[in-house]
Chains A and B, each alone.
Chain A
């Protein structure tokens, strides 16, 4: 257990429905990342937050995707009008960025596995 939790762990939905995932990072971590992982591939970056500010979004994040991190604590990722191609594992990670730009460890949650029928 890394200290990062995600809910739900599994979600099955029908095409066209909206889904929302939640991530609770390690409490003192100021950075939060969302990644998506499809079968047999490594995770791909979606978006990241520094405290409550969303500072970067990948081109993978279409207009149907939105992420928030109110108050710089937990984060939600919503997918509207889901498509079968959205089926994947959605991973959240958090880290604490210090002053030195020497690298940081990202701590990953267990992921939410989404299946769109």
Chain B
């Protein structure tokens, strides 16, 4: 079963607008990561936020983490057509010695030129 659930499942915005995606999870984590996947391709790591961090930035990306609500958000500012992809949150569970990632079902983002 998947630990994370993204919201919304699909998002369509105009180029230049901001895109916000949310992720909720169920159990205690070491960290939460966001990945991007272009259609039919592998996953690309975007950003990792540790359980003791609340916010992190990388370029046009801003990630927040609220461990009390077991939720995270990914904000993409000034979106571009090239940002069109599926975005997944993935959690690395606390006390899991394999450090495997548990993925959500993803948000499909369409940025219209």
Contact = CB atoms under 8 A, between A and B. Distances in A.
Contacts of B100: 33, 45, 48, 56
Contacts of B33: 103, 105
Interface of B: 2, 4, 30-31, 33, 35, 40-45, 48, 50, 88, 90, 92, 97-106
A42 B21 CA distance: 15
Given A91-B43, A102-B30, A42 B98 contact: no
Interface residues on A, range: 20 to 34
Q: List 4 A-B pairs, minimum CB-CB distance, nearest first.
A: A42-B103, A103-B31, A108-B43, A110-B42
Interface string A79-109: 0000000000101010101000111111111
A56 B43 contact: no
A69 interface: no
A43 B3 CA distance: 11
Interface in A33-59: 33, 35, 40-45, 48, 55-56
B105 to A, nearest CB: 5
A91 B42 CA distance: 7
Given A31-B99, A41-B105, A55-B98, A103 B50 contact: yes
Q: Which of A31, A43, A105 has the most CB of B within 10 A?
A: A43
